[in-house]
Amino acid sequence: MTHLTTSAPAITLGACVGLAAGLYARRVARCTAREPGPDGARQAMPTCDLLAAILGAGFGALVGARFGLSACLPAYLYLAALAPPLAVADATTRRLPNRILLPAYPIGAALLAFAAWRVGETSALWRAVTAGTVLYVVFLAVALAAPGALGFGDVKLSGLVGGFLGFLGWSTLLRGMTIAFVSAAVYVVTRAVAWHRLSGQALPLGPALLFGTLLAVVLS
């Protein structure tokens, strides 16, 4: 069951953060596209500014409504700010930039630690660490066992979202991963039907992981 608040300041702040992140996503994708891809070629980037801004603002507002002006709000607004640039970069270039992913680990950990300290639930922080580690190991094992099935950017992202989901509970982690993989499967089937064949391109899993994570957070 959702527990959405009617805190206007939190909702407004969330919408502004998400909107800014959505507008910033284009710059991140352009910088990522200028870097050599796995095949040494530069990647083309379609225009998706409006969609990123709308989804960013929408999810930011929902995160604000979910947590209100609580100690958890900074951590999950940070997650909402990360989602648009990472999703757009992965969808358009098939890459998740390390310059955003790697600093997100210590920053996210610090924000979750602050939330755990303020609400007096240190067990939630240890659960977040455990969940992030488990998810990272599982994704890494799949990436090593089946080369090409997952990118190492997906592996690094899995540990990050696992921490944010695990902080809210194991059921939230399960819900987030279920939504992510179901949405990814729906996308694959829809693309196959539209093209009347299966595409040979690898699926960018980042957008599905981020979508599933944010939706599970809002529904937690």
Q: What is the pTM of this model?
A: 0.86
How many structural domains compose the chain?
1
Identify the pLDDT of residue 195: 57
Low pLDDT (below 70) residues in the chain:
1-2, 28-48, 191-202
**Which pLDDT value is given to residue 42?**
42
Write down the pLDDT at residue 30: 64
Q: Which two tokens stand for residue 150?
A: 């997952």
What pLDDT, on a 0 to 100 scale, did the predictor assign at position 202? 60
Q: What pLDDT, on the 0 to 100 scale, is given for residue 206?
A: 87
Domain limits at 167?
A: 8-219
Predicted pLDDT at 186: 83
Residue 3 lies in a domain: no
Residue whose entry in the numeric block shows the structure tokens 């959505």: 22
Question: pLDDT value at position 164?
Answer: 97
pLDDT at position 47: 47
